[in-house]
Amino acid sequence: MASLLPETLFEAGGQGPAPSKDYYQLQITRSQVIFRWWRISLRNDYRTNRPGVTKECYEDFLDDVNLHVQIALIFGSKILQYVTNLCKGKYDFLERLSDTLLLCIISYLDLEDIARLSQTSHRFEKLCTSDKLWEQIVALMCDTVTQDMKALAKDIGWRQLFFTNKLQLQRQIRKRRQQNDDKKEVPLET
């Protein structure tokens, strides 16, 4: 399964903590951890410094406490934990799936499970509340999706359409039709 992974597993870049203006990059490949830094300073003595780089295999990285401290200071403890998990072979394959594929999978979940999944991460929250997902769910649950329903969903959203009861839905469609008919009947003044 690991052979399906891309060459670069993770990459992050950012500025060091204040007052530093230095820039750092962290890249995790299939075989090594690469840590790069660029000194940013107005002082003449730092202008001749070239960017630095540290490349370590996974085993060496797991033993390098100094690099762990630097990564935690610059990128945070969650990134450090994620990188150490990658180095230990703990890959998050679900996170690597495309949004389209995840939406297809999520559309087959029960509503309770979708609600729980939306609370696990920002990405899943966006996916679980997206109009694309709820359009798929409505298509799976309803026998027919009329043009009136599609037009209404365009106005109120597919999720809202799904949770609207049948009577209210019929009222909204009827009201929408009547508004469209009224617009057509208004004579143009010349």
Per-residue pLDDT of 139-185, as tens digits, reads: 888 777 788 888 888 888 888 888 877 788 788 888 888 887 777 76
SS3 57: strand
Report the alpha-carbon distance of residue 109 to residue 164 in Å, rounded. 20
CB 79 within 8 A of CB 109: no
Q: How far is CA 51 from CA 15, 33, 35, in A?
A: 14, 17, 11
Q: What's this model's pTM, rounded to 2 decimal places?
A: 0.56
Query: What distance in Å separates the CA atoms of residue 44 and residue 190, rounded to the nearest whole number?
Result: 75
User: What is the rounded radius of gyration, in angstroms, for the C-alpha atoms of the chain?
Assistant: 26
C-alpha–C-alpha distance, residues 42 and 22, integer Å: 11
The pLDDT tens digits along the chain (190 residues) read 455 667 888 899 988 888 878 899 999 998 999 999 988 876 666 666 788 999 999 999 999 999 999 999 999 999 999 999 999 988 777 777 888 999 999 988 998 999 999 998 888 999 999 989 988 888 888 777 788 888 888 888 888 888 877 788 788 888 888 887 777 765 656 5
Task: Give residue 111's identity as a one-letter amino acid code.
Answer: L
Tokens at 47, concatenated: 């202008």
The stretches of the chain forming alpha helices (DSSP H) are 44-47, 58-63, 65-75, 77-87, 99-106, 111-117, 122-128, 131-141, 147-156, 158-163, 166-185
Which among 169, 162, 165 has a CA at the least distance from the CA of 107? 162
